[in-house]
Amino acid sequence: MNFAVSTWSYLRAYSDEANLEQAIREITDGGFGVELWLHWSPEPDAFDESRWGRIRGLVGGAPLSIHTALTGCNPELFKKEVDIAAGLGASLIVAHEPTLGFKLEEELVGLDCCREVMEYASSRNIRVALENGPFTTLDRTVAKIGHEVDVCLDVGHANMTEGGIGAFLERFGPRIVHVHLSDNYGEDDDHLVPGEGYISMEDWRSLFKTLRSEKFAGNVVFEINARDPKRDAKRAREFIDYVIRSIEK
């Protein structure tokens, strides 16, 4: 597995003062891969095609993934994001259920939209990973789409829903191709450094045991509401290293 940091952490820390190139440099200098958050409000033209070569150079050979900026289903805009992913050399884009046309905790209505964007992504060799909201919504969505859907497990989201992390691992373990890591107190998506919230050590160990048993080879992305992204990524990695060592004993 590859450990990575989301540029969202830099938006949270620095807001309008965030600088994409500086964030990428700091992440890669720390030995992490990069997840690019496409809603980069400080620099609206950050992902224009004219800048793709520069971004590729900054990322170098580090693992790279993309997080959609979309909050609803817009096939043409999603295809443009897929083009960005392909142009930057990423192999995966993370999308929430509404981005693929499925409204949270409502009847599934977006199958045609979903198939259109997933077929286009496949044609560009980009994998779409569906990030979990509530368990029941993801369960129905996966069942409706069928065998081709992959899952991004957001551990913080899972900790806030009925059944908790264990239910997601049991149901979707073989489908998990991407992971977002943060902690919380069980009620809000606090995006704390792993180990600083209420997610139990049992759940952390179960997560990494499952990833190991499924021979997971994807990216594990720290998505933290950071005050100091560089420091907090280091602390998060130290905690996860401790969890992994504890299951190896």
Instruction: Compute the distance between CA of residue 126 and CA of residue 66 in angstroms, rounded to an integer.
Output: 10
Q: Identify the pLDDT of residue 72.
A: 85
What pairing do the DSSP bridges indicate for beta strands 92-96 and 64-67?
A: parallel
Instruction: Give the HSE-up count for residue 111: Cα atoms under 13 Å, Cβ half-sphere.
Output: 10
Instruction: Compute the distance between CA of residue 71 and CA of residue 243 in angstroms, rounded to an integer.
Output: 33
Q: Identify the pLDDT of residue 171.
A: 95
Q: Identify the pLDDT of residue 98.
A: 85
Provide the percentage of residues in the chain whose pLDDT is more than 70.
Answer: 96
pLDDT digits (tens, 9 = 90+) for 68-110: 999 888 999 999 999 999 999 999 999 988 888 776 555 555 6
pLDDT digits (tens, 9 = 90+) for 11-69: 999 999 999 999 999 999 999 999 999 999 999 999 999 999 999 999 999 999 999 99
Q: Identify the pLDDT of residue 104.
A: 58
Q: Where are the beta strands (DSSP E) in the chain?
A: 2-6, 33-37, 64-67, 92-96, 127-131, 150-154, 176-181, 219-222
Higher pLDDT, 157 or 72: 157
Instruction: Compute the distance between CA of residue 158 and CA of residue 135 in angstroms, rounded to an integer.
Output: 7
Q: Identify the pLDDT of residue 170.
A: 96
Residue 227 burial (CB count, 10 A): 10
Instruction: Compute the distance between CA of residue 197 and CA of residue 188 in angstroms, rounded to an integer.
Output: 11
Q: Identify the pLDDT of residue 193.
A: 98
Q: Which helix (H) or strand (E) holds 97?
A: none
**Beta carbons within 8 Å of 249's beta carbon, 6+ residues apart:** none
Q: Identify the pLDDT of residue 106.
A: 57
Instruction: Compute the distance between CA of residue 121 and CA of residue 100 in angstroms, rounded to an integer.
Output: 12
Q: Identify the pLDDT of residue 108.
A: 56
Lowest mean per-residue pLDDT among 17-26, 138-147, 191-200: 138-147
The answer to whether residues 71 and 98 touch, using CB atoms and an 8 Å cutoff, is yes
Q: For residue 137, give Cα distances in angstroms to 19, 45, 76, 96, 100.
A: 35, 34, 24, 11, 12
Average pLDDT, the chain: 93
Classify domain 2-248 at the CATH class level. alpha beta
